[in-house]
Structure 1
């Protein structure tokens, strides 16, 4: 890159708390450019928290949602009540049940009351066709942390686009404008949007595309400050006009077709999914064939959409509880944090086998045998949840062996394929349920959330799962989010192959400079590169499809804390939570996900100094130069510590 190290780092520091991607009102990541920024975020440091205008949606409630919640609290709340906004009554009732159950276990039950709020444009009150229904859970203000747990773990609450639409119909400005700036901070007073602007005719317009997405698709490697300078050349009005005029979104009245296209794409049944076919992917003209997911008879009717990936996981567990006899679940391997919380906080609990290695299967088999002997009237386990590969250690379980145990002891297998993705790996034949976060590589643009759940029609419990899913599932995926997700996902297969190749190049470079190389370099500061090619490769290869890669995610550990910090701080890519973005994104993952339980995470080999990297579409040589520069900084930090 043309900028010097000092200039680049100074410019990165100026992005603290701003959206990633830049100038994106519905970005799903936030810039935390230095190691100390991440620690400050976890500790609630004022210098960090006060700058944040956005964050990962399940952890940081979007400012538009906060603004709408404040309006609802003022309208319906009493005596300092706060609220959580839910899209349906079923979600609100689940929120109330969770809060009552968790509070009762430690004291008196929290009182939670539910209110329905129907918001309509002024010119649509009679037909109700464009009205939005909110279900509001109201509770004492000091119980908000408990409500936030439900929000975080289930991922089933309202999206920022839904909140923005509600605000507009109420004549309010959004909480964050198109440049990713809080609306209250805009120099001119916000314009009240008359309800008539949200008429049926206006809804048919294509929503603007996130202007930042084009900066990272097959273009040169661009630092955050270069992107900021480029975007500043367009005013917000000009950018919006260009995106509306030349965007590729289908109109909002096509949301149902967008959802069908998504389900078909995930089911792997679209015979052709090219630019010439995208407008028909959700319609009657689309050519449908046997699934490419490893189970021929999967159809779009076996795929269900959710507002987030975590919502898909939560619903998979709820479905298992509804369809099977009550029993503990199994969490196999070190998972993304909320998966374990779901299994612990709903239902009978779980066994946690956090290393996810072959010896853990031996331990699991012993547990199952003991439980089966103690009670022969029901299966010893409800379901086993595992990631393929896992986050952040990129390990893969022996799925054929786990499948054999599931068949022997009659429990379900739920596989989260988010990191591997079905272009690279074929896991459905071993699973009863496959879940995925569509917010990641399937979308890539990091401007919309989504999740999916797919049932295996050849699974032994398929009939009972299908019979019960109507009791558990409801389509709460907001139409506008579905439109964005459909647009973003059209080229995901092509993007994945480029990202696979980029990640392989970066990991090969770092691995060659690590202690794992024989003989290791004299000044090696890289301790280990966690990547499916190096971690449990025999299990990954068994499921890798012909031509599939190893995915875009890896983690790296260092020989000292100083080297970890220097490496992270020096990287010129974007830095923040999330993964699977079209641009390279780094994070000190353990600091962000497990800051309050660092010693616990370390038991399973998840080190405090681990840096997780999601590789993007940038120019490969530029990527390698940037990682080489960061590695030199890590080596210099080690030299300074030794001096």
Structure 2
């Protein structure tokens, strides 16, 4: 019998007011969540912060509309006045900035579903939503929240930004704290890296951007939407292992390519390219290389010497409690544009909120021990799944296609990370609904966590014939499940999986 229990629909994972995940215990719930079925959404107390507006942010927005006399308007709160101005420009008329007398920043406009959708998508891609802790503090100040309704958290004794930067620099090993720049999320780190690199390359006639491998959906969105001329400047190579095709692309277009963005390993197929060969090509052709190592973590892999910039979600692994969203950009001090990056990044990244950085500082020191535990557990779970007759496809960092490339950058042969993706040879709903593991988006926390990743990230593709063809062309099965191993004992995780896979 599994020691895990089903978590009710919509309950936060972990059970914190600022938990970054939320339970979707059945496939019907997943589909209802994606289709905005009120029968499902009414139970969602929260969700991943870049996709679901936190209840505190909603309440703060409603309070501002009342006190500013803006009834009948929509409001979108942002992480800074700079973010609000970018959002206002993106939306155009009739969007307007909140008045300077308001204690928070954002934009308002007459209620309009299309504009609201555009606002949410822009903030999601750029990672510029208001922090839930900042919203909480605002509500406490204005009397909309009482002290017993707020989150009680472990404090941090010291200067939190320096603490976090110091830890991150040590995780990367080739950087100093002055090479580390904090962001409101991993996505804000990636978006800012892209903008700064694009600005540096544009005067050189380089405007094209290459996506190598199937990447996280908002990274794809940035490249598809925010290059100078997306129809011409967005390039995609799905096969991360095809160096010959990459070389040919650089021969044909290398003088026009500004940068290459990839994940190492990729999400969710956990594929690792020959990073040294790719970096050498980029240097030869003057192409900037931006790497996202979040899936495995810089605790496990050494990528900075190959990159110009590394954009990393600190929400994963370094915030193992799963209750804070933050990110970082790390500059390769040996990179050709290192000085320019250090100058420009502070003006491109969003300011982090003091309580968020303090919360991260209170737990980042636990990250190496958490990762060590995860690295001990993952191989046992992989071996169970690899030999189970109901597992049709299985991906992890040491998959035969990636093993050699991954071990070249692994900090040790045992540094394999938490991520396992697989496809079951049975109805996915039968397996998923029976499974007692925590089920929701995100990864890299003390809690083991599983989700039907393609349904959550690319529901539009799952639900159309053309979309499924697009997924298939990139080697993605629509019913792929993404499992992130946590700190629980391996035997408990395996027993839970076995229970759900049984006849």
CA shift digits 1:494-536 (9 cap, x unpaired): 11011111111101111122xxxxxxxxxx2211111011141
Q: How does 1:234-633 map to 2 (within 5 A)?
A: 247=154, 249-250=155-156, 254=158, 257-268=159-170, 293=172, 295=174, 298-325=175-202, 326-348=206-228, 349=230, 350-353=233-236, 355-359=238-242, 361-372=243-254, 379-473=255-349, 476-513=351-388, 524-534=389-399, 535-546=401-412, 548-560=414-426, 562=427, 564-598=428-462, 599=468, 600-632=470-502
Give the structure 1 partner of residue 13 of structure 2: 20
Give the Å deviation of 1:483: 0.9
Distance 1:174 1:85 in 2: 21
Distance 1:12 1:618 in 2: 16
TM-score, scaled to structure 2: 0.92
Give the structure 1 partner of residue 465 of structure 2: none
CA shift digits 1:177-212 (9 cap, x unpaired): 46xxxxxxxxxxxxxxxxxxxxxxxxxxxx723xxx
Distance 1:586 1:577 in 2: 7
CA RMSD between the two structures:
2.1
CA shift digits 1:450-493 (9 cap, x unpaired): 1010000101221232233344245x111011111111211100
Contact 2:192 2:345 in 1 (8 A): no
Distance 1:41 1:2 in 2: 26
Stretch of structure 1 that moved more, 401-410 or 597-606: 597-606
Give the structure 2 partner of residue 208 of structure 1: 152
Give the Å deviation of 1:542: 0.8
Give the structure 2 partner of residue 113 of structure 1: 96
- The 1:2–1:399 alpha-carbon spacing in structure 2 relative to 1, beyond 3 Å, is closer
Contact 1:323 1:468 in 2 (8 A): no
Residue 323 of structure 1: SS of its match in structure 2? helix
- The 1:57–1:174 alpha-carbon spacing in structure 2 relative to 1, beyond 3 Å, is farther
2:40 pairs with 1:44: no
Distance 2:146 2:245 in 1: 52
CA shift digits 1:16-66 (9 cap, x unpaired): 0111112x1111111101111101111112211111111111111001100
Distance 1:440 1:305 in 2: 14
Contact 1:386 1:397 in 2 (8 A): no
**Which structure has the larger Rg over C-alpha atoms?**
1
- The 1:85–1:504 alpha-carbon spacing in structure 2 relative to 1, beyond 3 Å, is same
- The 1:175–1:347 alpha-carbon spacing in structure 2 relative to 1, beyond 3 Å, is farther
Contact 2:65 2:75 in 1 (8 A): yes
Which runs of 5 or more structure 1 residues have no equivalent in the other structure? 101-109, 120-132, 179-206, 210-246, 269-291, 373-378, 514-523, 637-643
Distance 1:621 1:499 in 2: 13
Distance 2:247 2:282 in 1: 10
Contact 2:392 2:425 in 1 (8 A): yes
State the structure with bigger RCO (CA 8 A, min sep 6), 1 or 2. Answer: 2
Distance 1:472 1:579 in 2: 26
Which runs of 5 or more structure 2 residues have no equivalent in the other structure? 463-467
Distance 1:547 1:533 in 2: 10
Distance 2:431 2:338 in 1: 48
Give the Å deviation of 1:136: 2.1
Distance 2:365 2:347 in 1: 31
Distance 1:467 1:153 in 2: 23
Residue 491 of structure 1: SS of its match in structure 2? helix
Distance 1:76 1:487 in 2: 37
CA shift digits 1:87-145 (9 cap, x unpaired): 32211111122223xxxxxxxxx3221124456xxxxxxxxxxxxx5222112321111
Residue 302 of structure 2: SS of its match in structure 1? coil
CA shift digits 1:551-588 (9 cap, x unpaired): 0011111234x1x2222222221111110110111101
Contact 1:65 1:175 in 2 (8 A): no
Distance 2:156 2:271 in 1: 38
Equivalent pairs counted in the alignment come to 488
2:24 pairs with 1:80: no
Give the Å deviation of 1:402: 1.2
Contact 1:82 1:141 in 2 (8 A): yes
